[in-house]
Chain A
Amino acid sequence: MTGGPKLVSILRQGAYLIASVHTALDDSQMVRFRDDLVEQIGRHRSRGVIIDVAALDVLDSFGARTLRTIGELARLRGAVTVIVGIQPDVAFAIVSLGMSTGSLVTALDLEEGLALLDHGVGAGRSTLPDRRRPRR
């Protein structure tokens, strides 16, 4: 990242990358974060990415869309992305924006996210890997 202090820390934890968003990001910062993360996935040959957004109490549509894009980019680069720590208000806002959240894998917090990755979720799957009935 160039220019200013890092607003997102990306840590390597074994085969996973853990990105913590510390503060609300504007559009350009969001793009910078995206590029940085996708680049690091390749460099560290990561299989899983966790993005912790617990510190965010607002998320605009661009931010939500970027998160989804990151998930798709990471998948193409061979890693599963799990978004963790979405606040109640943010969750409802994302849904109210009418965004399709189908491809986002989410978990309650970092611990849950790691457990989810350990159980090997596939991209585009729901939070609970083992669903009783097939989806139409």
Chain B
Amino acid sequence: MTEDHGASTRTSLSERADHFRPTGDEDQLLPQLVAHLREHRTKLRQEWAGRIQDSGLLHAMTPQEMADETTSVYDNYVGVLETGSVEALQRYARDLSERIIPRGVETHEVVGIVLLLRDVLARSLFEKYQRDFGLLNRVLDAYEPAANRIANTVAVSFVEERERIIRQQQDSIRELSTPVLPVRERLLILPIIGILDGERARQLTEQLLTGIRTHRAKVVVIDITGVPDIDESVADHLVRTVDASRLMGASVIITGLSPLIAQTLVTIGVDLSKMDTIGDLQGGLEVAERLLGYTVTRDVGMGGP
């Protein structure tokens, strides 16, 4: 166990860990330390919880949740000090992150509470060993690398979990993708919602052009009401898509350009002469219907607005 502990501190942490070598004497220090922390568990945990509250961290959690989580973190923390293995802590940290990330807990809060615990425990060690300075030094030598490793593990687990969630969300956005919907014979609409990046623009082109072919579309309405902003290359791509659609015999009407996008298009000097734009989707559909020769009439007797 000590071998394992020594090896991993050497590889993972501070320079201090490099000249920390467990000797026969120090082998006894960590167990002693763990026993001390176990003994004063309630008091230290409460002190820690108090410090967390004073720092204004984790205000997204209720006091009961806070008490539960701080107990678990404390036990896991001491567990790592005892066994030198961070695997259980890693699992716990991932699990915890999964629960608290949706609640809006930030990275600095998680790192903050772990560092606070490190601090609280270190202070209690100061207090216990203050009379024997040499011993205190050796105790800290044993404690600090392990504590650093714990802080590191928790932070990394949290960030990894966060990145995993981001990746997952990106995937689901991509899967939402861009539906090509036939609304009338030979009339397609493409509602685009969300950020239009290069990858998605390519996908859009592909789906639009094949959609024109399969549905024998003559008019396509692309509604970009839900697009917050586009950059130059995407705007350019959009213009090309409109042009390519025309080569396939379909007219494209773009609707729902936000003021911001309109400004962007004008500022970057995209050639807009090939783009037919109408203010909103409703207007776009009306124009499309007219182009296709549809006349829509409302039967007054049937009610409606």
Q: Which residues of A contact B (CB under 8 A)?
A: 83-84, 86-92, 94-96, 101, 104, 106-109, 112, 126-128, 130, 132, 135-136
Contact A95 B212 (CB under 8 A): no
Report the interface size for chain B: residues with CB under 8 A from the other chain: 25
Contact A95 B247 (CB under 8 A): yes
Q: Is the interface of B mostly helix, strand, loop or mixed?
A: helix
User: A109 contacts which chain B residues (CB < 8 A)?
Assistant: 216, 249
Report the separation of the CA atoms of residues A75 and B68 in the bound assembly, to the nearest whole angstrom.
Answer: 83
The residue on A at minimum CB distance from B290 is A132
User: B44 contacts which chain A residues (CB < 8 A)?
Assistant: none
Report the separation of the CA atoms of residues A115 and B83 in the bound assembly, to the nearest whole angstrom.
Answer: 82
Q: Does residue B245 face the partner (Cβ distance < 8 Å to A)?
A: yes
User: Which residues 263-285 in B have Cβ within 8 Å of A in the complex?
Assistant: 273
Contact B247 A108 (CB under 8 A): no
User: B250 contacts which chain A residues (CB < 8 A)?
Assistant: 108, 127
Contact A88 B249 (CB under 8 A): no
Report the separation of the CA atoms of residues A79 and B240 in the bound assembly, to the nearest whole angstrom.
Answer: 28
Contact A104 B247 (CB under 8 A): yes
Q: How many A-B residue pairs have CB under 8 A?
A: 72
Contact residue among B210, B251, B287 (Cβ-Cβ distance under 8 Å from A126): B251
* Cβ proximity bits B239-269 to A, threshold 8 Å, 1 near / 0 not: 0110111111111000000000000000000
Contact residue among B206, B212, B246, B273 (Cβ-Cβ distance under 8 Å from A135): B273
Contact residue among B241, B246, B290 (Cβ-Cβ distance under 8 Å from A127): B246
Contact B247 A106 (CB under 8 A): yes
Q: Which 6 A-B pairs have the closest CB atoms?
A: A88-B209, A108-B249, A91-B244, A107-B249, A91-B247, A95-B240
- Smallest CB separation, A60 vs chain B (Å): 15
Which of B248, B250, B273 gathers the greatest number of chain A CB atoms within 10 Å? B248
Contact B244 A126 (CB under 8 A): no
Known: A88-B248, A92-B244, A128-B218. A108 touches B205 (CB 8 A): no
User: B246 contacts which chain A residues (CB < 8 A)?
Assistant: 101, 106, 126-127
- Smallest CB separation, A40 vs chain B (Å): 24
Q: Does residue B35 face the partner (Cβ distance < 8 Å to A)?
A: no
Q: Does residue B164 face the partner (Cβ distance < 8 Å to A)?
A: no
User: A89 contacts which chain B residues (CB < 8 A)?
Assistant: 209
Contact A108 B244 (CB under 8 A): no
User: A108 contacts which chain B residues (CB < 8 A)?
Assistant: 212-213, 216-218, 248-250
Report the separation of the CA atoms of residues A101 and B245 in the bound assembly, to the nearest whole angstrom.
Answer: 12
